Amino acid sequence: MVDVQNKKKRAVVAMSGGVDSSVAAALLARDGYEVVGVTMRLFNAPNESVARLNKSCCSLEDVEDARAVCRKIGAKHYFLNFEEEFQKHVVDYFVGEYERGRTPHPCLACNDRLKFEFLVRRAELMDADVVATGHYARIRKDNGEYKLLAGIDSMKDQSYVLYTLSQEQLSKLALPIGDYSKDEIREVARDLGLSIADKPDSQDICFIPDGDYNRFIEPRLKRKAPGDIIDAEGKVLGEHEGIHGFTIGQRKRIPIFNSTPRPMYVTDINAESGQVTVGPAENLMKTRLYASGVNWISGSSPTESITAEARIRYNGRNTPAKVRAVSGGAEIEFNEPVRAITPGQAVVFYQDDVVIGGGLIETSLPELSKQNPGQYRDNTGTFRDISGHVGPSKQIQAKSERIWRFH
């Protein structure tokens, strides 16, 4: 008969074979948990040697590394095939977003649907008390509410890709390495005698090990959207073969003849017309955006505008802003212009090091005149009366009732 009172708590740990998830598992084992390591098979690398050379995850070597760590710490190890789910919820989503002229962050989809949905279900079948990952972020409980905090190591902080977590998910999640720096994690791995202590980090886009996005995307496109390349005034400067080859802020590989001495950047992508707009760097600077499907970590949206810091890309900096919840999302106004607001990326809100929430960027919003709030600045830099102007957020809300979670 099992002694329930003395039964160890069971932790299912998502293990990629890298140092971070390995140390997460080892720390939980050291703290008395019965650890069950789970390595998810997400995709078939086209070439095993290429996967290793480009520091990709999901190679056979990674699986063996995870299994070796589990043997070292006395844990069970399982290898689960999630290729079908990964194809549907990550790869297809990734390609589809580029097809629509957007720039996705596939780690958001992978975390949301695989690690914190499907894996949690598997963990429940294993009678686990907690699911753990090797993310550099922290969880704290304050007055009955779970809070998500940035990792101690600001250079490795991964809280940006965890903004979709709910209170229920946070209650079942452990992030053992969030209180450590990367150097400290490697030192812990050495102290524990783990063979992966000095293993190089994997790249973010694990399923494109050679880094050639276009070569990966083009064969998988359902349709191409060729069109004109124009300037802010609408003058045609050239043609392109598909909007999937562009992202906001891009400077290289723009097929135009630039007759000016100033470099040109992609400032807008119109999926409906197929037009790609280019302009000088200052045209990338914006102060307002609309985000859809905002998740508030607390479980409820604020009733009034809040002061926060917002980040618009994974390695970006936090910028002071006002965040106002609206139907279906939020409008964000930065205290100072930010560069290259990019649809498809996430905007995440922080107060100090606490993640308040976040959503997917749909569009930048017209710049309002500080001298005359009744006017906005159009793409040419001209201020016009805002009366009668239908703001992009309203347009997006009307047609963007699509589920914000990653299908």
Beta bridge partners of 324: 331
Gyration radius from the chain CA atoms: 23
CA distance 377 to 320: 22
CA distance 18 to 134: 9
Active site residues: 110, 206
CA distance 395 to 397: 5
- Evaluate whether 17 touches 62 at the Cβ level (below 8 Å): yes
Which H, E and C letters describe the chain, residue by residue? CCCHHHCCCEEEEECCCCHHHHHHHHHHHHCCCEEEEEEEECCCCCCHHHHHHCCCCCCHHHHHHHHHHHHHHCCEEEEEECHHHHHHHHHHHHHHHHHCCCCCCHHHHHHHHHHHHHHHHHHHHCCCCEEECCCCEEEEEECCEEEEEECCCCCCCCHHHHCCCCHHHHHCEECCCCCCCHHHHHHHHHHCCCCCCCCCCCCCCCCCCCCCHHHHHHHHCCCCCCEEEECCCCCEEEEECCHHHCCCCCCCCCCECCCCCCCCEEEEECCCCCCEEEECHHHHEEEEEEEEEEEECCCCCCCCCEEEEEECCCCCCCEEEEEEEECCEEEEEEEEEEECCCECEEEEEEECCEEEEEEEEEEECCEECCCCCCEEECCCCCEEECCCCCCHHHHHHHHCCCCCCCC
